[in-house]
């Protein structure tokens, strides 16, 4: 069975003490996970080391960086390299989140560089893709998201691409008042898996976890995760509330 993943993206939230309390509360309530289930916490850069210590020795729990720079090193004040992330034993990194694409103008080509650097250091990229509202309203979402995969992932060989976790974010359903249904999530996830199968074959596509990132909450996680091509969620706001995120973890297949 593919990995079923509940990934928390704290974004730019929580002080260190607040974050440690949140993580402790979740760790206290999570219980044991099945072999195919994982819980990942993408915490702000200053907290990576402390949070990694907190989950040490706990099975199927991981800490992730929220971003990395697309160059190995250099005069990039304030940026964080993959080598730095690797040096503190972090196993995951979010790449291409919609907020990075929108606010920091990250291109598909730049994200391909980030993916390459992560994989070279055995850091698993959580690669985000998804369409904005105007693309969805024009009915061009499939081609738009397909291009994101093609330009950022399809240079990889079969072995490498299977290490990537994909997260689909319907940007139009985040903070717009519009809601993506579980059927719409399944439709896009199935499309992504078919696109991957067209490039690499069905066996490869069936091995890649595809997470849903469109306002997952405790109340809708069961319905969304029940879809056959949805392998968990990349969760924003609800991951900042222990009770909510515990419900989301419990909804994993």
Structure tokens at 145: 């998201």
Closest CA to 127 of 148, 144, 146: 148
Task: Evaluate whether 10 touches 19 at the Cβ level (below 8 Å).
Answer: yes
Task: Evaluate whether 225 touches 252 at the Cβ level (below 8 Å).
Answer: yes
Out of 97, 106, 131, 244, pick the active-site residue: 97
Task: Evaluate whether 196 touches 208 at the Cβ level (below 8 Å).
Answer: yes
Closest CA to 190 of 229, 220, 151: 229
Largest CA distance in the chain: 48
Out of 106, 146, 169, 244, pick the active-site residue: 169
Task: Evaluate whether 127 touches 95 at the Cβ level (below 8 Å).
Answer: yes
Structure tokens at 236: 């924003």
Task: Evaluate whether 74 touches 49 at the Cβ level (below 8 Å).
Answer: no
DSSP annotation of 89 reads: T
Give the phi and the psi of residue 176 in degrees, each rounded to 5.
-110, -10
- Around Cβ 253, how many Cβ atoms within 10 Å? 16
Would you call 169 a catalytic residue per the annotation? Answer: yes
CA–CA gap between residue 237 and residue 240 (Å, rounded): 6
Catalytic residue positions, numbered: 97, 169
């Amino acid at each position: 069975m593919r990995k079923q993943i509940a990934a928390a993206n704290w974004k730019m939230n929580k002080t260190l003490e607040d974050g440690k309390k949140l993580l402790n509360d979740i760790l206290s309530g999570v219980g044991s996970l099945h072999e195919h289930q994982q819980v990942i916490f993408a915490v702000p850069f200053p907290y990576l080391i402390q949070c990694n210590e907190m989950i040490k020795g706990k099975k199927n729990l991981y800490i992730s960086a929220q971003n990395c720079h697309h160059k190995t090193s250099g005069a990039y004040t304030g940026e964080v390299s993959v080598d730095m992330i690797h040096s503190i034993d972090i196993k995951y990194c979010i790449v291409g989140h919609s907020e990075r694409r929108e606010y920091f103008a990250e291109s598909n080509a730049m994200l391909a560089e980030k993916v390459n650097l992560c994989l070279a250091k055995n850091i698993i990229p959580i690669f985000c893709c998804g369409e904005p509202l105007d693309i969805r309203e024009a009915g061009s979402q499939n081609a738009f998201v397909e291009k994101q995969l093609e330009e950022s992932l399809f240079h990889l060989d079969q072995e490498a691409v299977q290490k990537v976790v994909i997260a689909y974010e319907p940007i139009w359903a985040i903070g717009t008042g519009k809601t993506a249904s579980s059927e719409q999530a399944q439709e896009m996830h199935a499309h992504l898996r078919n696109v991957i199968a067209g490039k690499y074959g069905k066996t490869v596509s069936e091995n890649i976890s595809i997470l849903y990132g469109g306002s997952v909450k405790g109340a809708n996680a069961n319905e969304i995760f029940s879809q056959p091509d949805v392998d968990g969620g990349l969760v924003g706001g609800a991951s900042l509330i222990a009770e909510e995120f515990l419900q989301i973890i419990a909804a994993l297949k």
